[in-house]
């Protein structure tokens, strides 16, 4: 497809389990972002990649969160030893190049529920 694709759309996990969320950005997009969105709130920045380089991970809430983009296209956000407060929608966005004010194209997110 032409847009940003995220999988799975829904994920339910037990507290303490590890999860991996996938993002397929628009082909050729240089920049990739991960955001976390709690119910009724705006997205909160987690991390940013330019190609395969992770240039900003200041928003990752703890060292249980890890993101990678090894070949500069698909990205994975991994959460280890999940906690209930990790329940949220995780959004991925990509933009065409590294110019900072480019529009970001969002996927529809992965809704993560931790029981």
Partner 1 sequence: SQKIEQNSEALNIQEGKTATLTCNYTNYSPAYLQWYRQDPGRGPVFLLLIRENEKEKRKERLKVTFDTTLKQSLFHITASQPADSATYLCALGSGNTGKLIFGQGTTLQVKP
| SS3 sequence of 30-62 | CEEEEEEECCCCCCEEEEEEECCEEEECCCCCC
Q: Least distance to partner 1 from the beta carbon of 33, Å?
A: 7
How distant, in Å, are the alpha carbons of 15, 59, 68, 80, 114 from that of 83? 5, 17, 21, 9, 7
In the complex with partner 1, the residue whose CB is nearer, 53 or 63, is 53
In the complex with partner 1, the residue whose CB is nearer, 41 or 113, is 41
Closest listed residue to residue 47, CA positions, set 65, 30, 29, 64: 65
User: Which residues of the shown chain bind partner 1 in the complex (CB under 8 A)?
Assistant: 4, 31, 33, 35, 40-45, 48, 50, 55-56, 59, 91, 93, 95, 98-109
In the complex with partner 1, the residue whose CB is nearer, 18 or 52, is 52
Q: Least distance to partner 1 from the beta carbon of 101, Å?
A: 4
Give the max Cα distance, the chain. 40
Q: Least distance to partner 1 from the beta carbon of 81, Å?
A: 26
In the complex with partner 1, the residue whose CB is nearer, 31 or 82, is 31
């Amino acid at each position: 497809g032409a847009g940003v694709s995220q999988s799975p759309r829904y994920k339910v996990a037990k507290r303490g389990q590890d999860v991996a969320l996938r993002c397929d950005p628009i082909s050729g997009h240089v920049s990739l972002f991960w955001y976390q969105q709690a119910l009724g709130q705006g997205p909160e920045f987690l991390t940013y990649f330019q190609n395969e380089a992770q240039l900003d991970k200041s928003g990752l809430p703890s060292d249980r969160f890890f993101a990678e983009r090894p070949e500069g296209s698909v990205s994975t956000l991994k959460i280890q030893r999940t906690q209930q407060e990790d329940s949220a929608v995780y959004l991925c966005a990509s933009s065409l190049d590294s110019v900072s004010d480019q529009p970001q194209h969002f996927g529809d997110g992965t809704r993560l529920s931790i029981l």
